[in-house]
Amino acid sequence: MLKNPIFKGFNPDPCICRKGDDYYIAVSTFEWFPGIPVYHSKDMKNWELYTHVLTDDTNPDLKKLPSAKGIWAPCLTYCEQEDLFYVVYGVMNSMNARYFDVDNFVITAKNIEGPWSEPVYLHSSGFDASILHDDDGRKYIVSLDWETREGYEKPGAICMVEYDPKAKKIVGYPKRIWKGGTDRGCIEAPHLTKRNGYYYIMCAEGGTGYNHCVTMGRSENVWGPYVGDPKNPIVTSNPAVSNERHDPDHLKPKYYNPDVVLQKAGHGSYVETQLGEVYLVHLCSRPFTPELRCTLGRETAIQKMKWTEDGWLRMADGSNIAKEYCEESKLPEYPVKQIPDFDDFDGEELGNFYYAPRIMPQSFADIKARKGWVRLRGQESRTSLNKVSILARKLTSVYATVTTKMEFKPEVHQHSAGLIIYYDNMNYINLRKYYSETLGQSAISIIALENGVKTEFVNTRIPVDDKPIYFRLEINGRHSQFSWSYDGKSFNKIGIPFDTTKFSDEYCKYGEFTGTMVGITCADRVKHEHYADFDFFEYKADEDMDVK
């Protein structure tokens, strides 16, 4: 049996497709680069982080965008007629006054690893845009048509418009075609598919929170009218009937279901295997209780599905509750490489599992400057929305130990480098080495931001020598503790245990939809050129431990 989530940590909004014997899943990245990770499998059991779609941080330019903006809900499809991969994605620019200003684009590639075409602008009519390749060669774009007017149901309805791939533009204006298959409200994440003469629309409803779900409708005409599955929702964490069309809030914690492990199940996409099996991938979360805080963010899970005799897609076990365990595919086993726990930076390229906020990691992380080390060039403060040198990876368990070895000689108080746990630019904790004018030498201490309020823990300040130093972060459930060492064997605790649960959508006020990251960081707030060298980055996580 497969144990969910299959992609742990910050991996929301999964979209799955198949080309021959290969399966690919794309997920959202919001303000992080590289953008749109693509996971690959041949057996629907073993997945590897294969490539990223967006690797040019000038297009799209995410600098200065607030947290939780950026790349939303990519749609990855394969058009067999053209032997071409398509990715439709949105760049969320602003959510001020709930206008949700987004630009939607489409790009294509013959190979999943690229090169990808120049982005073609589609429209700005809502988010979660997706594409249908009809069997007559025509193409259609569906998205959530975001509602801003008073007196109209929020957040809106699903709209559709034809796309002309030769002219590279949409034909006319989007038209509303679907208001949902339940009364949970907050409809989003549309995907259109075609099977046995029916057009199927799959959506998320209830908001991307505790009332989230997957619903379906169908029509013999692509423009509708669409009829909802009488058993909607087809996948959810809470099967209770509810009418929340009046409430545009997405979290809805009152719908937390204590009887299930996977909360917030929704935003789905399905695929059929060569063997005729059907699987649906969807986002989910595993909160700390009773706080209902999801430190790992929104993750990706998988469920075995089946088509009924009357042409509806349902869970294979006949229920609609997202399960922690899923029946494996009968495809032959195909092992793939996994992200290493220990990275000694001895390779020729930076690992593809590293990310940075708003800019490509390679713009400040140099793997070749010193053999066997990664050199981080310092830039702006960690609170900046512009150019920040944080080399991070996704936290996949709340039971993890992160260790690094650093060489760094700060020269002025604006120089600092060290280890960080980071949710967004307004929520992080940083164990850093810096130059202390008070002590007249290098020192270490902890500095933290909690919902934008900065605390410099002066009582943690310790003078240190300018020689190699080890930093460690131990995350033990709801408590996180920093420590340091000169020899990498005997570690000294520094500072208080911090509350891990606060790194979550539910607690953070300035960002949402992402997840907690851990990494190494350097700042030079004077000349943007002073650097720190890191010998290794070790991430040991017990992913079998449950969030409690």
Given the residues 188, 277, 407, 506, select the one marked as catalytic: 188
Please choose, from the candidates 91, 85, 88, the residue with its C-alpha nearest in 3D space to the C-alpha of residue 33: 91
Residue with tokens 């249908």: 132
Q: Do 200 and 269 form a contact (C-beta atoms < 8 A)?
A: no
Is 13 one of the catalytic residues? yes
Residue 361 CA, chain-centre distance (Å), reads 17
- Taking the alpha carbons at both ends of the chain, their separation in whole angstroms is 23
Q: Do 404 and 343 form a contact (C-beta atoms < 8 A)?
A: no
Given the residues 13, 424, 506, 533, select the one marked as catalytic: 13
Strand locations in 165-234, DSSP E?
169-178, 188-195, 198-205, 213-219, 227-228
Query: What single-letter DSSP state applies at residue 181?
Result: S
The torsion angles phi and psi of 390, rounded to 5 degrees, stand at -125, 115
- Which contacts qualify for 132-138: CB closer than 8 Å, 24 or more apart? 132/192, 132/193, 132/194, 132/199, 132/222, 133/77, 133/79, 133/81, 133/82, 133/86, 134/194, 134/222, 135/194, 137/81, 138/162
Is 344 one of the catalytic residues? no
65, 67, 147, 321 from 95: Cα distances, Å: 11, 11, 13, 32
Please, what sign has the CA dihedral across residues 159, 161, 163, 167? negative
Active-site annotation, residues: 13, 188
